[in-house]
Amino acid sequence: MPFQNITLDVSDQVATLTVNRPDKLNALNDLTVSELGQAVEEIRSRADVGGAILTGSGNKAFVAGADIAELAKQGPLEGRERARRGQEVLRRIETSPKPIIAAVNGFALGGGCELAMACHVRIAAENAKFGQPEVKLGIGPGYGGSQRLPRLVGQGRALELILTAEMISAQEAYRIGLVNAVVPAAELMAHATAMLRKMLANGPVALAMSIEAVVRGMELPLDDALRLEADQFGLLAATEDMREGMRAFLEKRAPHFTGR
């Protein structure tokens, strides 16, 4: 079934996933979250996809948050269920073995900031704005913001952003480490695509294991995380890609990785 609130285009290994509700500043209603979940599974499973760029349609918003019209009607159990569903979809993005880059083209507020934080890398357009304004609505972050924001920018800055509910500019987001780069709006997709292509020139198994080592390793005690890294290091020695990568270096040529 075709999607209603998102689009998914694949070209030469690069999937572009666009949240497409521009009249509502791409706010995440339940249908959009569900479609995002389906699209992420497609990205993870399709052999013709090496990685993805996640963005919003129009030039004003990446995603302006969860859909407040839906939140306004929720009771406690429904609210918890909604948060769990959103968290699960974002976790599938974060644990994707294929790199996913957020191209933040405007407002990334609440669930939008949380969606961007679940991606592996964030590139912001100069006009992008970030924030976790939930407390203004009498709620707190529900899609992982209370956990991913402090991990990215530190506890003090995360609490400042969450408790003041203030929006920050792309430059400020860059200064505190919330985004990896800020580029002119017209160059955003080209920049994100170039970065993703740079990643995809490398061995896919090595990419997948590196994502797992960082994302899962961050949650483990250091000794367990180091063990995970060492196990992966050993496992990669069984791959044809490792032999090819090293052979190519010694033969002074570009490697041709096959993912085996």
- Side chain identity at 91, as an amino acid letter? R
Query: Taking CB under 6 A as the criterion, which residues in 122-141 touch ligand COA?
Result: 133-134, 137
Beta strands across the sheet bearing 168-169? 61-63, 107-109, 129-131, 168-169
Residue 210: CB minimum distance to ligand COA, A = 32
The one among 10, 31, 49, 68 contacting ligand COA by CB under 6 A: 68
Least distance from ligand COA to the Cβ atom of residue 11, Å: 30
Give the active site residue among 41, 114, 229, 251: 114
User: If binding is defined by CB under 6 A, does position 144 make contact with ligand COA?
Assistant: no
Q: How far is the CB of 133 from ligand COA (least distance, A)?
A: 4
For the chain, where are the alpha helices, taking DSSP H only? 30-45, 68-71, 76-94, 111-118, 145-153, 155-164, 170-175, 188-200, 204-217, 222-236, 240-250
Applying CB under 6 A, the span of 34-42, 67-75, 89-97, 192-200 interacting with ligand COA comes to 67-75
Q: Minimum distance between the CB of residue 103 and ligand COA, rounded to whole angstroms? A: 18
CA 44 to chain centre: 13
Compute CA distances 76 → 43, 71, 163, whole Å: 33, 11, 22
Write each residue from 88 to 107 as x if it is in contact with ligand COA (CB under 6 A), else as -, in one continuous string.
-------------------x
Instruction: Tell me: does residue 109 bind ligand COA (CB under 6 A).
Output: yes
Catalytic residue among 78, 81, 88, 134: 134
CA 186 to chain centre: 21
Annotation marks residue 42 as catalytic:
no
24 forms part of the interface with ligand COA (CB under 6 A) = yes
- Closer by beta carbon to ligand COA, 134 or else 241: 134
Q: Is residue 134 among the annotated active site residues?
A: yes
Integer Cα distance of 7 and 2 in angstroms: 9
Q: Which two tokens stand for residue 241?
A: 């890609």
Nearer to ligand COA, 50 or 142 (CB): 142
C-beta closer to ligand COA: residue 56 or 65:
65
- For the four alpha carbons of 145, 107, 180 and 31, in that order, the dihedral sign comes to positive
Instruction: Kindly provide the b/e burial profile for residues 181-208, where b requires at least 16 CB atoms within 10 angstroms of the residue's own CB.
Output: ebbeeeebbebbbebbeebbebbbbbbb
Handedness of CA 184, 112, 30, 11 (dihedral sign): positive
Question: Which parts of 25-44 interact with ligand COA (CB under 6 A)?
Answer: 25, 27
DSSP three-state, residue 196: helix
Query: Contacting ligand COA (CB under 6 A), which of 15, 19, 66, 128?
Result: 66
What distance, in Å, lies between the first and last C-alpha atoms of the chain? 32
Q: Is 115 in the site for ligand COA (CB under 6 A)?
A: no
CB of 109 to ligand COA, least distance (A): 4
Annotated active-site positions, please? 114, 134
Binding site for ligand COA (CB under 6 A): 24-25, 27, 64-69, 107, 109-111, 133-134, 137
